[in-house]
Chains A and B, each alone.
Chain A
């Protein structure tokens, strides 16, 4: 059974940094592209970015590219999201997602989602 378990969320002050983690199980992590998607309290969904199965390539939403960094450790089956200089508008539930298929190219649909971790940015 595919499982994605996020952690690292919480209350953080504006301007701070935060690193989210997602531990994967139930599939060969190193075979799949992975993405982060966030959902605001108003339920708006936003794709943050993705990372190739071997970690050699990342792609980001342009609006977030300068502040967010996605990485992975295939030996630990773990995906990361480093957030810097956070703002109130970054308040959201952050989901780790697995790509729809294994392969050189991403399918760009999100076949599995974690339960999410809530990040609240407030002073």
Chain B
């Protein structure tokens, strides 16, 4: 299985930029298609899709969220961070079955 590694916690100040990383144990890209997706989960809620295929904003997601990366290294950027963004963020790959998730990064206020 493809293992996705995320830092457990990221502390950020409101109004600043948050950069959340996800590293895959092998490439999750096929040609120019990057099969990495990002989700946000607030306490007590279900996950919500933020970004699909590395850089495509899901419907209804604010433009302060963006995604980038290819191969094995991917980044979710939130700029500027708002109070409502305090949550856990998970990456997920669909390059190979089974789909796998990272362990999540908890975004905290500094």
Contact = CB atoms under 8 A, between A and B. Distances in A.
A107 B95 CA distance: 11
A61 B39 CA distance: 20
Contacts of A46: 101
B61 to A, nearest CB: 11
B31 interface: no
Contact of B97 (A59, A110, A112): A59
> How big is chain B's contact interface, by range?
20 to 34
Nearest to A65: B98
Given A100-B49, A111-B58, A113-B47, A43 B88 contact: yes
B48 interface: yes
B46 A61 contact: no
B10 interface: no
B94 A109 contact: yes
Interface of A: 35, 43-47, 59-62, 95, 100, 107-116
Interface of B: 35, 37, 39, 45-49, 52-53, 58-59, 88, 90, 92, 94, 97-101, 103-104
